[in-house]
Amino acid sequence: MGYDNVLYERDDDGVVVLTVNRPAVMNALDRKTLSELHRAFLDFRHDQRARVLILTGAGEKAFVAGADIAYMSGIDQEEAEDFARLGQNLTIAIESVPKAVIAAVNGYALGGGCELAMACDFILASDNARFGQPEVNLGLIPGFGGTQRLARIVGRAVAKQMIYTGEIIKAARALDIGLANAVYPQAELLSGARGIARTIASKGPLAVGAAKRALNRGYDLALEVGLEFESMLFGSMFKTDDMREGTKAFLDKRDARFTGR
């Protein structure tokens, strides 16, 4: 699809593997890579044959080791704010795409890499994965959403400790605090992610998208407001071909053939 720093590959089951492909610099995020990732998520959004995306990094050392420090060392305040917004726009695009996105973290996910993973619906980690927001070591703070998403995922006190100290945690610790959903041997990570992705891809795509909206938007709403939003989305499913196919397939005792309509 005309990318230089990312690979976009889709299989016949509707599963896309999107790989940050800069292994020589541990898949660090510069402006070009952020822009290509954003474009890839737009392509994924509009790819009617794509139902689930797995985001990972090239090589065995890193998912994404962070933002490109060489680039950041030479910019001023205005350029830095623009760079942060570029990263934030990418994470918002990940969260808002009405399809499931799985982070397969295969090594270092630090700084912008950790923030990228947290924007996904959930994280699967290899046993050599390492997570952290070590920006304080550079005299900086997270800029792609880390101060906001980490606290929502692991709780404010744990997030403060990680961000204030710049601590880098192992995969087992990430699992314990709820940052990662599962840990796999490194050689099994992608196959494990594909298995979960194919399960999700076999479900009603409109239902998966609606569930994602309900979970993401409802999280910060008062319960009664979130319940009202849920009921609206629940009702909207009843005008879809997928709902009719799913219920008929259940009654017919066969697998449903969802079309996303």
Q: Please confirm, yes or no, whether 60 is among the known catalytic residues.
A: no
Q: Please confirm, yes or no, whether 230 is among the known catalytic residues.
A: no
Where do the DSSP E strands lie in the chain?
6-10, 15-20, 52-57, 62-64, 100-105, 108-110, 122-126, 130-132, 168-170, 182-184
Nearest Cα to Cα of residue 91 among 144, 152, 147: 144
Catalytic one of 135, 188, 224, 230: 135
- Report how far residue 250's alpha carbon sits from residue 90's, in angstroms, rounded to the nearest whole number: 38
Q: How many residues does the chain have?
A: 261
- Report how far residue 37's alpha carbon sits from residue 31's, in angstroms, rounded to the nearest whole number: 10
End-to-end CA distance of the chain: 26
Query: CB within 8 A of 115, min separation 6: which ones?
Result: 87, 91, 133, 142, 144, 145, 146, 149
Query: CB within 8 A of 238, min separation 6: which ones?
Result: none
Catalytic one of 36, 95, 115, 230: 115
- Report how far residue 91's alpha carbon sits from residue 225's, in angstroms, rounded to the nearest whole number: 25
Measured CA angle at 198 (ends 195, 199), to 5 deg: 90
**Residue type, position 177, single letter:** I
The answer to whether 103 and 135 are in contact (CB under 8 A) is no
Annotated catalytic residues are 115, 135
